[in-house]
């Protein structure tokens, strides 16, 4: 009965989110990354603000299969911490995202990096497009995955509050997580992810939202970002949008070819302040 109810609720959520242009999103993302590779650089391995621990965990089960993720926490933490659902880029849950989870943990969070690609990662745009396209075609499974990530942080980690953050492909799913759990997610961070502009779909959101985008991004365009911002403000939502005029898509990924150190630094500082204000 419970499983049937859960699937029914997810079906409603999928319908509410809408099918949109999910398939073409993979094409748009491929265009933005056509000369890119997730090659690690020294900046990608920036040390956390404090010592952290990291481990592979099973945080749920989707389609009868266990879902594995990466959990990072401050090493000195004794009790429950605010939780963060950390959603990977179109490359998948790779070492760059594990490093970002550690950096977030260093700010005082239980950071759970989820996996929407079933353990697979990409090292070139063609493979990333394939993985992203497959994931975007299975919306219900992704929503169930993210719901269970939230439940894991609340029940297993005893997180008093849970926020969500994602980049690129994950930035879009950060917003979708907020729409799925509009009165339970306490803070939403979107880095150059697919947005929603339908006021009816945005209306249930209760949490503050912050977003970071590149002025030269031809996939998630500044015009679409302003449309999202306008819709949110007309609804009276707590939204903050930053567009870095000279930055491109994926400007905050230090292991990618579009990395912009100045924009990434400013976005990180704003992100940590936003999370501290709303989760601590």
Token reading at 198: 């339908």
Res 9: pLDDT = 42
pLDDT at 204 over 70: yes
Answer yes or no: is pLDDT of 178 > 80.
Answer: yes
pTM: 0.90
Q: pLDDT-based confidence at 34, cuts 50/70/90? A: low
For the cut 70, the answer to whether the pLDDT of residue 20 exceeds it is no
For residues 266 and 210, what is the distance between their CA atoms, to the nearest angstrom? 13
Percentage of residues of the chain with pLDDT beyond 70:
86
Quick one: tokens of 229?
Answer: 């911002």
Question: Quick one: pLDDT at residue 27?
Answer: 75
Size (the chain), residues: 280
- Tell me the C-alpha distance between 150 and 177, whole Å: 9
Mean pLDDT, the chain, whole residue set:
90
The Cα–Cα gap between 25 and 195 comes to: 11
Domain ranges of the chain: 21-279
Helix axis angle, 139-151 to 169-180, nearest 10°: 70
Mean pLDDT value of segment 38-57: 83
Which class is 21-279 in CATH? alpha beta
H or E segment and range at residue 70: strand 65-74
What would the two tokens of residue 74 be? 């401050």
Q: Which two tokens stand for residue 115?
A: 């996996």
pLDDT by residue (tens digit) across 63-99?
A: 999 999 999 999 999 899 999 999 999 999 999 999 9
Between 31-35, 69-73, 255-259, the lowest mean confidence (pLDDT) is in 31-35
Distance CA 65, CA 79 (A): 30
pLDDT at 137 exceeding the cut of 70? yes
Structure tokens given for 203:
């209306």
Q: What pLDDT score was predicted for residue 82?
A: 98
The sheet carrying 110-113 orders its strands as 52-62, 65-74, 110-113, 83-87, 162-167, 185-191, 209-214, 239-244
Structure tokens at 44: 């990608």
Of the pLDDT bands very low, low, confident and very high (cuts 50, 70, 90), residue 5 is: very low
- Separation CA 189–CA 238 (nearest Å): 12
Helix (H) or strand (E) holding 239: strand 239-244
Q: Where are the alpha helices (DSSP H) in the chain?
A: 2-17, 22-32, 95-105, 125-136, 139-151, 169-180, 199-202, 222-234, 261-279
- CA nearest 143: which of 205, 60, 72? 60
């Amino acid at each position: 009965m419970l499983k049937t109810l859960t699937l029914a609720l997810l079906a409603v959520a999928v319908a509410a989110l809408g099918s949109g242009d999910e398939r073409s999103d993979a094409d748009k993302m491929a265009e933005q990354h056509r000369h890119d590779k997730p090659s690690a650089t020294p900046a990608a391995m920036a040390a956390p603000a404090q010592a952290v621990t990291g481990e592979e965990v099973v945080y749920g089960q989707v389609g009868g299969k266990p879902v594995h993720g990466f959990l990072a926490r401050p090493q000195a933490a004794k009790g429950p911490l605010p939780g963060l659902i950390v959603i990977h880029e179109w490359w998948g849950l790779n070492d760059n995202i594990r490093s970002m989870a550690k950096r977030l943990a260093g700010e005082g969070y239980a950071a759970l990096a989820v996996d929407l690609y079933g353990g697979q990662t990409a090292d070139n745009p063609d493979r990333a497009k394939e993985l992203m396209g497959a994931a975007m075609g299975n919306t219900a499974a992704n929503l169930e995955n993210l719901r269970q990530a939230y439940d894991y942080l609340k029940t297993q980690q005893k997180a008093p509050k849970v926020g969500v953050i994602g980049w690129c492909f994950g930035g879009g799913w950060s917003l979708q997580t907020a729409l799925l759990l509009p009165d339970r997610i306490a803070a939403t961070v979107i880095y150059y992810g697919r947005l929603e502009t339908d006021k009816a779909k945005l209306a249930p959101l209760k949490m503050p939202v912050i977003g970071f985008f590149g002025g030269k991004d031809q996939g998630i365009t500044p015009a679409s970002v302003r449309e999202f911002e306008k819709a949110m403000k007309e609804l009276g939502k707590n939204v903050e949008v930053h567009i870095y005029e000279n930055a491109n898509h994926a400007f905050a990924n230090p292991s990618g070819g579009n990395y912009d150190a100045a924009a990434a630094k400013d976005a990180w500082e704003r992100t940590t302040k936003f999370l501290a204000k709303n989760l601590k």
